[in-house]
Structure 1
């Protein structure tokens, strides 16, 4: 009898494990961990064999970690309940497709990591997220990206600062239009044939670039080296050009002079100046609002203090009346006697 029970228990455990592995058990049975990281609500569903985005999480989640799962498709409703997400981690899944408007509700999203998936392109709506600063799509085979970017609405709305497209099979840097905030791009381990002047012109504030393990031709390689040196771009990881600059490279035009002469470069600089001016005015407006608020608080405090003083004086008067009632009676009698004397005289 005991042996039969043991066998049944072992069988149950094996069946339960198999059902869990193949996703037959409800996601509610697999609990995600809730944490507080830098005052942000983080939900960690890391490596839980999930097949889709769970819909039973707290709607207040701000950091959602869904890395190392088996998600193949992001659906339109996947993040509809989670409009407060600021950081979304989806790396090391099997994501092949993304339905339109999947990210439409993530207006607060600042960073998304879609690296190490099976994407063939970047969903264009990502570039229109109003708060997105960091975008990771490295280690995806983005063979359809260049064609899809022709339909991209420019200028993009996302204030991108960091863009990682390493190891994506790209032959040129992605043309996403003018990006005045972009200061770092990682395009390493791509078979880059060249980097066009128009693409560089839209990155007028670039401070760091990684082009290691690329396959640029000799002329393009020396052009980008000269461009980076003249622009004084630091924190660079550059390919080794096969041969030093020689006579056969005399026909390579100076990339810097061409780039800074393009209208895209001027537009990028103008966008930067406009953003700086907007930021300055916002700062001034914030300071003035703060001063005005402080003045209102001071006036309120002064008025309240004055009313308290008046109330205290009134209370003292009332207190005197209650403490010395005889004085008040004597005074009234004197007044009445005076009135009588006046009447008798008359």
Structure 2
């Protein structure tokens, strides 16, 4: 789940260690970072500002694609907080004190693919986050007050964000929010929430779902109420993670009536499949046109280059002809004079 996030962090920390490897132990202890450092990770230019206890994002270099601002004291993300860094693709803001996020806080980050807002105290979660056209990974876990907002959050559907990974772990959720159809979702982390229900319709709209983390989230739900969703998981199949599977392996669970999958689940599932197929068609269409455009561009470049070479060749030939002196006619004149003398 956190592999990409941890890998980036480890890469940045390794770069810092390499810079300090020639220091003595005492010097290393005294060299705690006091400002952001810049380095490359995954062929992207990044700024590492984690653990500096900063209350606001400082002025950074332009062109950064990764910003790690975790473990700081940021409290608000206003509309202009990140407006100068439009090239950011990976943004890590975990373990801050964020409670407020403006509606347009991420409007300028049109390339944002990963957003980590975990372990904050978010009270206001803007609906616009779910409309970001490049956002694939969203971490919201560890926000204990987030459920107060999600319960009443009116999410515009369909969601435009192509979410593949969504983390809502440890957010005190009693029921799951309705995100509508999420055709590219593959991993859903809803662990450590006191859920009182687990509606199968939530998951039937995620037709590419392969993993769900339910660790310590379904203990308060009666076994027979879980039967429908567990049956759906097994039919798809979707791997679900629990700390203890004994309840689902019990005789009590087996004794629950076998549910009949309602038509509504199949309808939402097929709607999701149709949406996913359309997305794949668009991707294929774009790849085809990129290939055709690339081929045409290559042909035109080659043709122009050929014309240029021919032009240079013609210019060189013209210059050569101009430099070549004309053949002498003195020999022919003398021969004519001798012939006339003989005739006379």
TM-score for the superposition, normalised by structure 2: 0.79
Which residue of structure 1 aligns with residue 88 of structure 2?
A: 85
What is the SS of the residue equivalent to 1:143?
Answer: helix
Q: 1:106 Cα deviation (Å)?
A: 1.1
Q: Which has more radius of gyration?
A: 1
Distance 2:64 2:313 in 1: 50
User: Using the alignment, how far apart are the partners of 2:43 and 2:173 within structure 1?
Assistant: 38
CA RMSD of aligned residues (A): 2.6
Distance in 2 (alpha carbons) for counterparts of 1:42 and 1:246: 51
- How has the CA–CA distance of structure 1 residues 96 and 203 changed in structure 2, closer, same or farther, with 3 Å as cutoff? same
Tell me, in whole angstroms, the C-alpha distance in 2 between the residues paired with 1:100 and 1:123.
5
Question: Of residues 314, 319, 332 in structure 1, which corresponds to 2:318?
Answer: 314
Which range moved further: 129-138 or 197-206?
A: 197-206
8 Å contact from structure 2 (residues 199, 229) kept in 1: no
- Alignment check: 8 A CA contact 1:41 1:61 kept: yes
- Displacement of 1:267: 2.1
Q: Which contiguous aligned blocks of 4+ residues in structure 1 show a shift greater than 4 angstroms? A: 245-248
- The structure 2 residue matched to 1:261, chosen from 233, 251, 266, is 266
- Offset, 1:52: 2.1
Does the CA-based 8 Å contact 1:201-1:260 persist in structure 2? yes
**Long gaps (5+) in structure 2:** 1-32
- Unaligned runs of 5+ residues in structure 1 are 1-28, 342-346
- How far is 1:307 from its partner? 2.3
2:251 matched residue in structure 1: 244
Tell me the residue number matched to 1:125.
128
Structure 1 position 129, deviation (Å): 1.1
Q: Aligned-pair distance for 1:66?
A: 1.0
CA contact (8 A) 1:197 1:258 kept: no
Distance 1:95 1:135 in 2: 16
Query: Counterparts of 1:331-346 in structure 2 under 5 Å?
Result: none
Q: CA deviation at 1:270?
A: 1.2
What residue number does 2:41 align with?
37
Whether contact under 8 Å (1:210, 1:237) holds in the other structure is yes
Q: Report the number of matched residues.
A: 299
The equivalent residue for 1:222 is 227
Which one is further off, 201-210 or 31-40? Answer: 31-40
